[in-house]
Amino acid sequence: MVPREPDPDQSDKRILGIIPARGGSKRIPRKNLLCLGGKPLIAYAIEAAKRSNFLGRTILSTEDPEIRSVALELGAEVPFVRPAELSSDASLTVDVVLHALGEIEPTEGREYDYVCVLEPTAPLRTTQDIDSALSMLLSADADSIIGLTPVDYVNPARLRVIRENRVYLFAPQVWRDGWQQQALEQVYKPAGGLFACRRDTIVHGGSLHGKTQCGYIFPPERGVDIDTFFDLAFAEFLISRRVVG
């Protein structure tokens, strides 16, 4: 997809890119520094952001000295150290973004209009994806945009739960016996590690989503999120077979 030019009255909007990369990770220890395709995972987000035509400035937020050192070697900007209380498993991304804005905007003397969050765990997301999504947001009457990828084979309406050794439909109000998969509405899952929203939605609404949201659709091969070792192996497979990248 070729990025569309933003509306003329949106062309001067200031967009801050934020790469949140904390040191802790339960399922995959030190995940953000793991080697994928010959380079650390954080390298993919840094490289894609640096090539963007829409991001006015991109910073990496971390509390971890090793991640900071590697990020600086990769050419990232790491202008502050994230507090430990914003780096736990329970920390919210919106609070990390608010902290970053509080550190960056006073030094620049002016506010940003939009914020784009690029999770390092989506290494197959491209610069073109970033710019296309931001172009969509700038052209839309919406508070935010989220990266999505289609769920084609396991529609939530067909999922089951087990209660007291009995199987029940997870969403009996949606699924009916005898229906075919094609009868169900297309559903999507968050993917590509991309969120972007208006600054006011974060600062005054305390949310990365707001009331209205658009979706940027990633193809399955670029919508991989690294959450398990299986995801990591699958991403390595896609890169090695030149399916992406």
Confidence grade of residue 27 (pLDDT, cut at 50, 70, 90): confident
pLDDT of residue 11: 62
Spatial distance between the Cα atoms of 71 and 201, rounded to a whole number of angstroms: 29
> How many angstroms separate the CA atoms of 134 and 98, rounded?
20
Among candidate residues 119, 97, 124, 101, the one with its CA nearest the CA of residue 111:
101
d(CA 218, CA 113): 25
Are β-strands 114-118 and 187-198 bridged in parallel, bridged antiparallel, or unpaired?
antiparallel
- Give me the residue spans of the domains in the chain: 12-149+187-240
The pLDDT, as a whole number, for residue 221 is: 87
Q: Are 24 and 74 in contact (CB under 8 A)?
A: no
3-state secondary structure of 129: helix
User: What pLDDT is attached to residue 122?
Assistant: 96
Residue 151 is predicted with a pLDDT of 87
Using only the alpha carbons of the chain, give its radius of gyration: 19
Model confidence pTM above 0.75: yes
As a CATH number, domain 12-149+187-240 is: 3.90.550.10
143-196 tens-digit pLDDT = 999 999 998 777 777 788 999 999 998 877 766 655 566 667 888 999 989 999
> Which amino acid belongs to residue 53?
N
Average pLDDT over residues 108-123: 96
Would you mind telling me the total number of residues written for the chain in this entry?
Answer: 245
Q: Which of 116, 141, 102 is nearest to 56 (CA)?
A: 116
Longest dimension (CA), the chain: 62
